[in-house]
Amino acid sequence: MVTRTALVAGATGVVGRALVAHLAAQPDWRVIAVSRRRPADLEVGAVHVAVDLGDRDATRAAFAQQARGVTHAFFCAYVADPDPDALIARNVALFEHVVDAVDAAAPALAHVQTVAGTKWYGSHLGPFRVPAHESQPRHPGRNFYFDQQDALVQRAARSAGRWHWSAVRPHAVCGDTLGSPMNLALVLATWGSVCRAVGEPLCHPGPAANLTAWYQCCDAGLLARAMTHVATAPACADRAFNVTNGDLFRWCDVWPALAAFFGVADGGNVPGSLVDWMADKAPVWDALVARHGLQPHRLHAIAAFGFGDFVFRSTWDIASDTGALRRSGFGERIDSEAMLVARLQHWRAARVIP
């Protein structure tokens, strides 16, 4: 029996796609998936709403028609922009359009959740206090995650208890979504496949210190289950939670398993840029697609190698404390090395990589 209705904004991204899949499989949830384009493999039972969330009036109009029964809204949307000020302005506007529209349309709204990340702690800027705790002070400077959460808290307060908020902060989410700009598993999958095709080893492309620094990932399925828990458990209301696989690893320990999956040598540390190395590899990829009968995707349309450069360039530990999430009642853990290999196996079985 359906008792809750979820609106998932950003339903084609690596986070939103996994959340739609998880909730659509639950008998007590109805799911409204929101994105500009309809997912090709939208789950049976999920309703799709096509709208440009950057357009405030269009968002409000679409939600007025489709979102009246929403009880839980999940904001998983993101827009990239090379200009730092525009990046903040566009993502804050996107967020405010969604929250204001669903608040106005849904009288039974009970909870709104946003997805941030470890950049909340300044993980992208340099060494920071680890393991990161949700109570740590904000890093100096601007961050659109700060503006989004402030806007969320303010709007929840204005609702006078009609609905509550939460935020989740994952890191390096790995999922089954094609074309997401921040899906590390797909970067590894395409890159390793090209290495094998051109007869080169899988070389770690970052500084040597990146190989030995602690790192963490978050499986998209685990994140979806954690998000559902946080959005529905009364003890989680009006709080933020770190969400990761629950373990830490070093790339030097994982690299041999990645190389073995692709059947290539572990090339050790050879600093460089994935963006530069992959820049001329589209013909290699197209030949792989034709030779192995793979899904006809363009190389640079399904993997963002700039994200790979971002992941492999840090020389400091990146670690989040997930004790608050465990104490709230969600104790699931996943081995990150096994998760990465399983994601690669998924792309192979789906005939995305050879």
Indicate the domain borders of the chain.
Answer: 4-172+219-242, 178-217+248-318+333-349
To the question of domain 4-172+219-242 being in CATH 3.40.50.720, the answer is: yes
How is residue 135 written in tokens?
Answer: 């109570």
pLDDT tens, position by position, 83-108: 999 999 999 999 999 999 999 999 99
Q: What are the φ/ψ torsions at residue 35 (nearest 5 degrees)?
A: -165, 165
pLDDT band at 299 (very low <50, low <70, confident <90, very high): very high
Q: Is the pLDDT confidence value at 41 over 80? A: no
Mean pLDDT, rounded, of the chain: 96
DSSP3 helix / strand / coil % (the chain, rounded to 5): 45, 15, 40
Report percent pLDDT > 90 for the chain. Answer: 94
Rounded CA separation 190/187 (Å): 6
Tell me: the pLDDT tens digits for 152-207? 999 999 999 999 999 999 999 999 888 777 899 999 999 999 999 999 999 999 99
Instruction: Considering only residues 181 and 317, tell me which one the structure prediction assigns the higher pLDDT.
Output: 317
Which two tokens mark 167?
Answer: 């935020």
Run of H or E residues at 212 = helix 208-212
User: If 0-12 CB within 10 Å is exposed, 13-18 middle and 19+ buried, where does residue 41 land?
Assistant: exposed
Burial category of 353 from C-beta neighbours within 10 Å (exposed 0-12, middle 13-18, buried 19 and up): buried
Q: How far apart are CA 195 and CA 173, in angstroms?
A: 23
pLDDT of residue 43: 80
Query: What's this model's pTM, rounded to 2 decimal places?
Result: 0.96
Q: Give residue-wise pLDDT tens across range 211-224.
A: 999 999 999 999 99
Residue 35 near residue 15, CB atoms below 8 Å: no
Q: What pLDDT is stored for residue 88 in this prediction?
A: 96
